[in-house]
Each structure stands twice: as structure tokens, then as C-alpha cells.
Structure 1
Amino acid sequence: MEIAITVAAIIFVIIVGMFLIHRLNAQHDERIGAFRYSDALPRISRRNRKSPRTTAPKGSPADATRRERRDGSR
């Protein structure tokens, strides 16, 4: 009899925990839905980074390898 009560109590605690987690996730989803990520913060501007970007060489990688061998550099 004691084992059945213990098992029932454990199952009840698990169900209550699942319900609480479900409610917390729903509240979290509502907060995320209400928050606007695209708005910039006032008085904070984004700096433009003017660093040079590396560009890939034109042509296939095999062409670059052929050019290196032709120039004599390995």
C-alpha cells in the first residue's frame, strides 16, 4: 500500500512540474513575441565598419593552382 502511494505521489509531482514548465514556456513565448528586435536603441548608432573585405579570386581553384605552378612557386 505504501509503495502505491509513493508512486502516485511521484507521478503527481512529475505532472505538476510538467504543467509549471509548460506555463513558464508560454509566458516566455509571449514576452519574445512582444519584444521588437528590429528597433534600434535610442542614442546608440551602429558604426559603419570600413574594413576591406577579402574577395575570392576569379576563376576556379584549379586555375589558381595552375598559375602558381606556371610561375614556379610551390
Structure 2
Amino acid sequence: METAFTVVVIILVIIAGMILIHRLNAQHDERIGAFRYSDALPGIGRRTRKGPGAAVPKGPPTDATHSEHREGSR
């Protein structure tokens, strides 16, 4: 009888802990959703991806000094 009571109490405590954790997570998610983070800095973390039909410029690079420096260093 004592063992069964102990098992029931342990199960109830586990269930209460699960409910508490669930509620705290929901509250935390609401706080995160309400806080507005600033936008990422331009050029950091977000790259524009060109689709397969996007035009790619052909010909020499616009910054010729950069490519010449790069070729000369190798």
C-alpha cells in the first residue's frame, strides 16, 4: 500500500513538473515574440540568391585592380 502511494505521488509530481515546464516555455515564447529584434546588418548573414534565370554579368570584373592583385600574388 505504501509503495503504490509513493509511486502515485512521484507520477503526480512528474506530471506537475511537465505542466510547469510547458507553461514556462509558452511564456518565454510570448516574450520572445513580443520583443522586436533589430534587422541584420546589410551584407551580414543574408545573401541574395539568384534564380536560374537571373542575368549574370559577362566580361571582365568591374574591379580589375582587385583581380590583378589576386593573380599577381599567386
TM-score, normalised to structure 2, is: 0.54
TM-superposed deviation, 1:45: 5.1
Q: Deviations over 1:14-54 (max 9, x none)?
A: 0011001100110001111111398555424522101216x
Counterpart residue number, 1:21 = 18
Separation in 2, partners of 1:42, 1:49: 17
TM-score, normalised to structure 1, is: 0.54
For residue 50 of structure 2, give the secondary structure of its aligned residue in structure 1: coil
Number of equivalenced pairs: 50
Gapped regions of structure 1 (runs ≥ 5): 54-74
Gapped regions of structure 2 (runs ≥ 5): 54-74
Counterpart residue number, 2:30 = 33
